[in-house]
């Protein structure tokens, strides 16, 4: 029985899966399995996974159920006491698994261990951007407002913590759900927040940018409206669980969500959307945004530059940042 499992949800990911699996097979931790969940791909995804001929890789196939459904099937198949996730276009630094296993073993009250992420582009080059979240003293309010876990390739869970949030909705006969498959977006923060609100497992991070998280231009940003809608659906779903909590934090969280979507709009060169989202953010909770002045001001500046001088300016600035990072 492997000590740890890494779940890799993969949908038509033949182009990137090989690099992802190489980064996982290179983990320094000695005892793990990789569960590739082929989520109904129509390309060579399965062939790529099988092509490694590595006994540590298991492939689970299913008709398409979406990212949450693929992660859930991966959890159901996983045998490890620790379960991490890596989407089929992201990469793990070689020491990531070892660091999280050590973190979880040393702290029996932690149920979810995460780290920061370096953002890479389609070719795998650093963009100069990173997610450097708060690592200690994480409360449900932090999870809701700022999502320190960051992305779906950052966390490694303790199996027992996942099992504490398992449920089986009407009509599901095969296995439990951990991620809510009715969400096509925001399914990750919904999962972290449900863990934070309904269990007393701690959520904590370790230093380092141990995940390399791929941002594809135009990928997610095209759907910022849908992203906003699914985030609001999450708030609607979870509010009856802890009404006082949401009454207290929803405004600030909504402002941060708008600011995040504004940054996405800047990335995809959509000036008018970025402007309206920043206006909405500032109208919703100016004090919350003022508590993080640097990030709020850079977002405002980028929005203004984009509006006045066009997307070339932003690209040029990002190019500078990349050179600095390289």
Partner 1 sequence: MTRILHLVDDTNPGGVTRYLDFLRRDPGMAALASHEVRAVPRNRPCVAGIEADVIVSHLAVTWRGLPGLMALRARHAGTPLIHVEHSYSEGFAAHNVRARRRFRTLLRTAYALFDRIVAVSHPQGDWLLGRGLVPAAQLSVIPPCVDLSAFAALPAPQGPVRVIGALGRFDRQKGFDLLIRAFRALPQADLRLEMIGDGPERAALEALAQGDPRIRFAGFADSPAQAMAACDALAMPSRWEPYGLVGAEARAAGRPVLVSGVDGLRDQVEDGAIAVRESTVDAWQEALATLTGPSLPPAARRAEEPATLTRLGWAALLDGFDGLTDDAGSVTTEVSAVAA
Spacing of C-alpha 209 from chain mean position: 14
Q: Are 82 and 157 in contact (CB under 8 A)?
A: yes
Pick the stretch among 68-76, 162-170, 252-260, 277-285 that binds partner 1 (CB under 8 A).
162-170
Q: Looking at beta carbons only, is 197 or 282 nearer to partner 1?
A: 197
- The least CB distance from residue 115 to partner 1, in Å, is 21
Interface with partner 1 (CB under 8 A), residue from 33, 89, 187, 202: 202
Is residue 197 involved in binding partner 1 (CB under 8 A)?
Answer: yes
The structure tokens 């708008």 sit at: 258
Interface with partner 1 (CB under 8 A), residue from 30, 51, 124, 169: 169
Query: Contacts with partner 1: how many residues (CB under 8 A)?
Result: 21
Is residue 47 involved in binding partner 1 (CB under 8 A)?
Answer: no
Is residue 310 involved in binding partner 1 (CB under 8 A)?
Answer: no
Is residue 106 involved in binding partner 1 (CB under 8 A)?
Answer: no
Alpha-carbon gap, residue 77 to 210, rounded angstroms: 25
Q: Looking at beta carbons only, is 62 or 198 nearer to partner 1?
A: 198
- The least CB distance from residue 68 to partner 1, in Å, is 14
Q: Which two tokens stand for residue 116?
A: 């920061």
Q: Which two tokens stand for residue 122?
A: 């389609």
Taking the CA atoms of residue 162, residue 166, residue 172 and residue 174 in that order, the dihedral angle to the nearest 10 degrees is 50
Interface with partner 1 (CB under 8 A), residue from 30, 51, 207, 243: 243
Q: Which of 249, 188, 195 is nearest to 220 (CA)?
A: 188
Alpha-carbon gap, residue 267 to 315, rounded angstroms: 9
Q: Which of residues 258-297 bind partner 1 (CB under 8 A)?
A: none
Is residue 135 involved in binding partner 1 (CB under 8 A)?
Answer: no
Q: Are 146 and 256 in contact (CB under 8 A)?
A: yes
Alpha-carbon gap, residue 276 to 160, rounded angstroms: 43
Interface with partner 1 (CB under 8 A), residue from 42, 55, 170, 326: 170
Is residue 247 involved in binding partner 1 (CB under 8 A)?
Answer: no
């Amino acid at each position: 029985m492997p000590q740890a499992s890494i779940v890799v949800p993969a949908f038509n990911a033949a182009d990137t899966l090989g690099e992802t699996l190489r980064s996982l097979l290179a983990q320094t931790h000695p005892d793990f399995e990789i569960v590739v969940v082929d989520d109904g791909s129509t390309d060579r995804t399965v062939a790529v996974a099988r092509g490694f001929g590595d006994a540590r890789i298991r492939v689970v196939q299913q008709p398409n159920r979406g990212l949450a459904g693929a992660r859930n099937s991966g959890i159901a198949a996983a045998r490890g006491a620790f379960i991490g996730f890596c989407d089929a276009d992201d990469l793990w630094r070689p020491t990531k698994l070892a660091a999280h296993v050590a973190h979880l073993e040393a702290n029996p009250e932690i149920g979810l261990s995460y780290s920061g992420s370096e953002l890479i582009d389609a070719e795998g080059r650093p963009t100069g951007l990173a997610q450097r979240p708060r690592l200690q003293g994480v409360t449900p309010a932090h999870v809701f407002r700022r999502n320190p876990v960051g992305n779906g390739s950052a966390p490694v869970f303790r199996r027992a913590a996942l099992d504490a949030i398992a449920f089986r909705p009407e009509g599901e006969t095969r296995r439990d759900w951990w991620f809510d498959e009715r969400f096509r977006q925001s399914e990750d923060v919904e999962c972290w927040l449900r863990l934070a609100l309904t269990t007393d497992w701690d959520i904590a991070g370790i230093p380092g940018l141990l995940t390399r998280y791929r941002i594809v231009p135009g990928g997610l940003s095209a759907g910022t409206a849908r992203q906003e809608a699914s985030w609001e659906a999450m708030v609607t779903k979870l509010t009856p669980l802890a009404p006082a909590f949401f009454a207290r934090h929803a405004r600030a969280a909504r402002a941060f969500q708008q600011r995040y979507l504004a940054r996405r709009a800047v990335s995809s060169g959509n000036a008018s959307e970025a402007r309206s989202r920043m206006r909405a953010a500032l109208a919703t909770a100016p004090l919350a945004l003022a508590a993080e002045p640097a990030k709020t001001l850079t977002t405002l500046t980028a929005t203004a530059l984009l509006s006045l001088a066009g997307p070339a300016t932003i690209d040029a600035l990002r190019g500078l940042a990349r050179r600095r990072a390289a």
